[in-house]
Structure 1
Amino acid sequence: MKFGEQLRSSIIREYQWYYIDYDALKGDLKNATGPPRPGSAIGHEWTEADETRFVGKLEAELEKVYTKQQVKAMEISRRIAVSEREVNEVVNRLNERGLNEAGPTEEEFMLLEEDLSDIIADVHDLAKFVQLNYTGFYKIIKKHDKMTGWHLRPAFETRLKAKPFYKENYDASVVGLSKLYDLVRTRGNPAKGDSAAGGAQASFIRQTTKYWVHPDNVTELKLIILKHLPVLVFNANKEFEPQDSAITSIYYDNPDTFELYEGRLKKTEGAEAIRLRWYGGMQNETIFVERKTHREDWTGEKSVKARFSMKEKNVNAYMKGELLPPAIFEKARKERKKSDKAIAEDERLASEIQYSVIKKGYRPVCRSFYHRTAFQLPADARVRISLDTELTMVREDNLDGRRRSGDNWRRMDIGIDWPFSQLPPEDVVRFPYAVLEVKLQTQAGQEPPEWVRELISSHLVEAVPKFSKFIHGTAHLFPDRIHLLPYWMPQMDVDIRKPTSHDFGIRRPELSSTTNTSTDDDEDLDSDDEDKAAAAQRHRGPSASGARGTTQNGSSADVEDQTVDLTAVNDEPFPIYDSDDEYDENYEMEEARRVGGWHYYKTLLATKGHALGRGTLTVLHYLVPRPRSTQVDRSARQEMFFGNERIQTKKFRAPPGKKIYVPVRVEPKVYFAAERTFLGWLEYSIYIGTIAATLLNFGDQPTPAQFVISGSYTFLAIATLIYALVVYVYRSRSIRNRKAARYHDRWGPSILCAALFVAVGLNVALEGRIRGIW
């Protein structure tokens, strides 16, 4: 839908007089008072008086929106403070009542819960109000610059920074509301205990899934989750500060081979990731050294993440091998705060990491920064949800001659001052979405909670299995050195927002049966083909850019949905990605140039041969007489769904010289299946060869016809053997290299059956002729 229609359909009654008057501003652009200008979108010249009039109206609209946002934010803060006093009063009465004293009633808790639910709905509505107005300002400014030729955007960005209604951070409100709602929901008895505890791990099955969340849906998602799980706060006695949720990690790898990147991307057995992590600001002295090791499921082992802590002042000496692990844990042994066994395990881990870093030449290559909001019941890790926002990846290397980190283990010119505007564009990648991670520990056969299933199937999230911040950042920041890309990279231009799939969202208590405050935020398809990423700009800053895809003709299906729909209709394999079994000459030639020698010349000849073959097939395609397809007009039903424009069929391809790696699950039974299939083909070829030998030796004096029939069966048996061997070698090599190849055999069995039918028919025909039947 167009933005004007979206604005009208998304209006919340309380804010109906405070939204940007988009239609009036849009109409004002068409009322230029200058002389006529042929071919202009507005018909007349746009004069300085017109610009002054329009800017004045725009300033008035900005003041109106900013004032309403400030007043409502203050009102919500006061309501939260009042609710906190009321909740604490009720809880104190509950704790202090005697045996014969009347404590708080269930009705009081229900009233408090309804009041908190109403505040939560207010926070949600305010976030939607801010997002919609920011989008409106962005669009009208862009429309102004395009229609008038006057560039207002740079100047108006300064005005937006002076009245930054779109930069309101609701994290403090979410944390406060979470604590109060948890107290009321548990009737004054919230769960207590170690947040890392979760029962015997051996009796649980752990499932972790990652999702992308559009910035428009982040606040709503937080508010939905806090009604079921409290925000996990490790230091409840400390007032919440934004830096408390900041997490920064420095990832190490070999800058020449990027072997850790490739291992984590391919999920090979034993693939490692080494990182140094700290929580909060740069002044934090505690650094965690972590190693993540991937284990295949068939090994019977689980992927593990082990870590130990050390002081920041010792990190450089440790990474260079000047400080040995026994010296790091000497103080811990003396204080005996940990058992000797735990210290020995940490020391062994420190020795292994130090040995790997020094021997394999690992250096800091990439930094990830984000703010994390975690939701979990203390002492109960069955459901743990974390939401990472403002995710940013930064280069830490010295590869191109620039000394970023230098000899230090991290660069010191940045801290946690997101969005790191002081960095050049080639040094930073600001991820456009938030990352939701859902970790479930359920007993075998047990379903996850109903609200979790509704959440992950809702329109608020987009599943992206095996997403990795390290992989994404490294692939983006080193385009000249990374040639194998993760599968989600080509989808970054596809808008992940979806229409509401079911009745799910934030509701006010009194209107819970009829009203859902969650709105369908389909992107604008305005007549001037405006940019598709206005809403996402709020989290990247006004000056950032990031075009997003959108749907055609208001259709609810995005590019991937269209691809899936066409696949189902045509009933033909239509891969979304260019998989490894397809020959990519650009990628092969780049790899050959890096290797050099005879391998390069062999690849060059193969590339020229492929080009010659494609050219020959193209010429034959046009020269050989064959039935030609006829263009048929669309039916009314097709136009209703797809419109009258060309239906987009998207196949994601990697840039030239690169390749997309699609995750492939490889287990021992896959090898056995390939071998079993090969033995099955051998069995059938032996049967066919036996028939040939029997026909040849059936009589005392074989006839020419028997020689022909036996020869046909013999040729078929040999061809089957060769085909089976070629397919087995291809499959084994693909499995060993973890390629996303086509392992199914579409034509082999059919051709074998057809050849057998021809051989049997030939046998019957010749024998019938010899016996005089025809």
Structure 2
Amino acid sequence: MKFGEQLRSSIIREYQWYYIDYDGLKADLKRPSGPHGEWTEEDEKRFVSKLEAELDKVHTKQQVKAMEISRRIAVSEREVKDVVNRLQERGLNEEGPSEEEFMLLEEDLSDIIAEVHDLAKFVQVNYTGFYKIIKKHDKMTGWRLKPVFDARLKAKPFYKENYDAAVVKLSKLYDLVRTRGNPVKGDSSAGGSQGSFVRHTTKYWVHPDNVTELKLIILKHLPVLVFNPSKEFEEADSAISSIYYDNPETFELYEGRLKKTEGAEAIRLRWYGGMQTETIFVERKTHREDWTGEKSVKARFALKEKLVNPYLRGELLPSAIFEKARKEGKKSEKAIAEDERLAAEIQYSVLKKKLKPVVRSFYHRTAFQLPADARVRISLDTELTMIREDNLDGVQRSGDNWRRTDIGIDWPFPQLPPSDICRFPYAVLEVKLQTQLGQEPPEWVRQLISSHLVEAVPKFSKFIHGTASLFPDRIHLLPYWFPQMDVDIRKPPTHDFGIKRLESSTRTSTTDVDEDDDEDSDEENETTTENQNGETSGQGVTRNRRARGGVTATDIEDQTVDQASNENTYLYDSEDEPDEDRLEEARRVGGWTYYSTLLQTRANAAARVTWSVLKALVPRPRASQVPRNANLESLLGSGEIHQKRIKAPKGKKIYVPVRVEPKVYFAAERTFLGWLEYSIYIGTIAVTLLNFGASDKGGRGSSIIAAGVFTLLAFLSLWYAVVIYLYRSHAIRTRKAARYYDKWGPSILCAALFVAVVLNFVYEGKGRGVW
């Protein structure tokens, strides 16, 4: 979809006069005042002045609306506290707040949630508009405006508004109202002990444009998990840092986690908050294959920061670490013994495998969970950053310490060189479910993970991605998602989650799509989606709005679209330069440049049409429609799955995880023995023909020929069986993504047997004088 069309379809009624005038700015770029269509200094001044006015307009509206939302949250907070206090302080015969009061409060909070959502969408689409119009200006005029205007955007950073504090407050208030003043209470540390727990985890990428909307949707079902409710929320409270350890020479832990080998470990040291935090958690993740009957487990124990270095160097024994805990008696002897055993195993691995700090991960986490109930836990990690911690290239980053100390939590870490840092472009959503009890995930979770807001990335790992990104010269085996980082994960909306204002429709349609927008210069795909009635999506939306009288749907959770869009389009256009934009620039130059560009664009268009017609005419096998299983649908949704051929960078290999169970080895052996059996049968036939044919003088020559054919066939089948068995055994041991089915072997064997039998019949008949 073109950005101009997207902007018009995204206009919210309250903000309709405050959006960037994208069409007006684009029209100015197409009207240079130079004598030969050249962009002059007066044109540049006029354009910059208008762009400044648009920036002031958007920034002012954002500031005013943000203050208004803050005031509304403060007022709602007082009202909710008043109602809850009346509920808690009522006497035995006194009536508390009515159900209607709670319903009104819930509606008011839902309206505030919708306002935060609308403001986030307003900011996001305007920021994209400024980015695209500046890019269009630089490309069409040849004047470089982007570096200068970046400074203006930093002076008025309307797009850097952080809604985390508002989300935490709204979550607390909404939970109070939803539970009618009786929120679930319990251990806020994640529903119990974090020492050792088992969950089924699925991971997704979330585009920054959808982060705030996703948080607002989740908080209507799960409260934000706050570890210290009595403390005012600060940005540092959500900061999480982890130091991953590995052997910097062999990267054996990286390779083990990438290949998912049985017993593969990941060892990290984690802390919450700033660098002054004294409590450090030493964690170990252990991968277990499904055939073992065990689940992958994360185990950890707490350690004081001042004890980390002597512990990792082997100078501090685990028994000394937990001596104080035994004296205090706050934990059971069994729990202390488990922690001590874990500490001893990790210390042994660090010393034996010569593990050193290699990668740090930093992010801000927003966790959603009912206290004391870990059945459903959702976490969203934003501003994910991976940083080098090693000393491989002679640069002393961590030195002899267990972590580097020249950085803290001052994201985006501008002081670091580009070679030391990898800023991940997406947020990471983790949906953790306790599945050992056999319960199904809630319906709203199923709809959320199959919606347009998330992109499923099974087995995504911050440690694996950071190591592969920061050590390009040492890592040659890449995860499967690594070459897909340049693919835009934004998709057309497929679900309405009910984040709507209470009044009439919040969105409005301005004018129809004008003809000029057909020449929007950033487009790669200019088709429109048609619904079942043959009308375009924009017409269908407009018609539906008119039929409803401008009122949007209420909070209905079962509005999932039956089928997602069949086009491989995204929310915004590609950054590739289309033919229309090249033609527009060539028209200004004129002369042979214009005519050659015109001829080239027309030839490209004709070639595309011809190729489409040929593909439609040439007969080819069609794939059968196979119903999608429940596991795949939970990961990828019910829409069409688009495939793209991925090629590894030069000198690298993409590792695709292959699941290997013990029965696979036995299956390969059974297949090998089956081939041997048939080879022996064929060899027996050859020996029989040779022996009985030799006694018959009349058919001796034909029998020898037939016996030779069957002997050769037996030898070839034996050789083929051995080669295939060795190939499959090697592929299984190395977890290679090979073809384990035999496409040609059985068919060739049957054909060869048929030919051998026919030859034997022909020669035998000829030898006996039948023909």
* Alignment of 1:5 onto 2:5: yes
Distance 2:610 2:750 in 1: 37
Match of 1:431 among 409, 412, 424: 424
Distance 1:45 1:373 in 2: 48
Worse-matched range after superposition: 338-347 or 63-72: 338-347
User: In structure 2, do the counterparts of structure 1 residues 34 and 748 end up closer, same or farther at CA, with 3 Å as the change threshold?
Assistant: same
1:733 corresponds to which residue? 730
2:156 corresponds to which residue? 163
Match of 2:393 among 393, 400, 424: 400
1:635 corresponds to which residue? 613
Distance 2:76 2:647 in 1: 54
Matches within 5 A, 1:214-229: 214-229=207-222
Distance 1:15 1:732 in 2: 64
TM-score, normalization by structure 1: 0.81
Tell me by how many angstroms 1:196 deviates: 5.4
Per-residue CA distance 1:310-363 (angstroms, 9 max, x = gap): 111222222222323233223222222222232232222222222222232211
1:458/1:504 contact within 8 Å kept: no
User: In structure 2, do the counterparts of structure 1 residues 739 and 110 end up closer, same or farther at CA, with 3 Å as the change threshold?
Assistant: same
Match of 1:758 among 749, 755, 760: 755
* Alignment of 1:101 onto 2:79: no
Distance 1:254 1:199 in 2: 33
Worse-matched range after superposition: 474-483 or 404-413: 404-413
Worse-matched range after superposition: 648-657 or 682-691: 648-657
Distance 1:128 1:525 in 2: 24
User: In structure 2, do the counterparts of structure 1 residues 301 and 516 end up closer, same or farther at CA, with 3 Å as the change threshold?
Assistant: farther
Amino acid at match of 1:634: S
2:11/2:507 contact within 8 Å kept: no
Tell me by how many angstroms 1:294 deviates: 1.3
* Alignment of 1:715 onto 2:726: no
User: In structure 2, do the counterparts of structure 1 residues 443 and 508 end up closer, same or farther at CA, with 3 Å as the change threshold?
Assistant: farther
The 3-state SS of whatever aligns with 1:442 is coil
Match of 2:246 among 235, 243, 253: 253
2:557 corresponds to which residue? none
1:35/1:45 contact within 8 Å kept: no
Amino acid at match of 2:107: E
Match of 2:741 among 714, 738, 744: 744
Distance 1:162 1:350 in 2: 50
The 3-state SS of whatever aligns with 1:332 is helix
Distance 1:669 1:764 in 2: 42
Amino acid at match of 1:471: I
Distance 2:611 2:54 in 1: 47
Tell me by how many angstroms 1:189 deviates: 1.6
Distance 1:657 1:27 in 2: 47
Tell me by how many angstroms 1:516 deviates: 12
1:557 corresponds to which residue? 568
1:596 corresponds to which residue? none
User: In structure 2, do the counterparts of structure 1 residues 498 and 180 end up closer, same or farther at CA, with 3 Å as the change threshold?
Assistant: same
Tell me by how many angstroms 1:755 deviates: 0.9
TM-score, normalization by structure 2: 0.81
* Alignment of 1:294 onto 2:318: no
Amino acid at match of 2:649: P
Distance 1:304 1:633 in 2: 52
Distance 2:655 2:518 in 1: 33
Per-residue CA distance 1:570-597 (angstroms, 9 max, x = gap): xxxxxxxxxxxxxxxxxxxxxxxxxxxx
Tell me by how many angstroms 1:437 deviates: 0.6
Amino acid at match of 1:282: M
1:19 corresponds to which residue? 19
Distance 2:381 2:192 in 1: 26
Distance 1:649 1:377 in 2: 38
Distance 2:101 2:683 in 1: 87
Per-residue CA distance 1:371-398 (angstroms, 9 max, x = gap): 0011111111111111100000000111
Amino acid at match of 1:44: E
Unaligned runs of 5+ in 2: 510-516, 526-564, 571-608, 618-641
* Alignment of 1:661 onto 2:672: no
Distance 1:667 1:654 in 2: 28
* Alignment of 1:185 onto 2:182: no
Tell me by how many angstroms 1:482 deviates: 0.6
% identical equivalent positions: 79
User: In structure 2, do the counterparts of structure 1 residues 531 and 371 end up closer, same or farther at CA, with 3 Å as the change threshold?
Assistant: farther
Per-residue CA distance 1:138-160 (angstroms, 9 max, x = gap): 11111222222222222211111
* Alignment of 1:358 onto 2:317: no
Distance 2:443 2:344 in 1: 45
1:232/1:378 contact within 8 Å kept: yes
1:690 corresponds to which residue? 684
Tell me by how many angstroms 1:6 deviates: 1.4
1:505/1:516 contact within 8 Å kept: no
Worse-matched range after superposition: 10-19 or 290-299: 290-299
Distance 2:256 2:57 in 1: 54
2:12/2:507 contact within 8 Å kept: no
Tell me by how many angstroms 1:237 deviates: 0.7
Tell me by how many angstroms 1:655 deviates: 1.5
Report the RMSD for the aligned CA atoms in angstroms: 2.7
Match of 2:45 among 32, 39, 52: 52
User: In structure 2, do the counterparts of structure 1 residues 735 and 241 end up closer, same or farther at CA, with 3 Å as the change threshold?
Assistant: same
Distance 2:508 2:181 in 1: 29
2:366/2:379 contact within 8 Å kept: yes
1:626 corresponds to which residue? none
Distance 2:685 2:524 in 1: 70
Tell me by how many angstroms 1:525 deviates: 10
Amino acid at match of 1:34: G
Distance 1:395 1:741 in 2: 34
Amino acid at match of 1:727: I
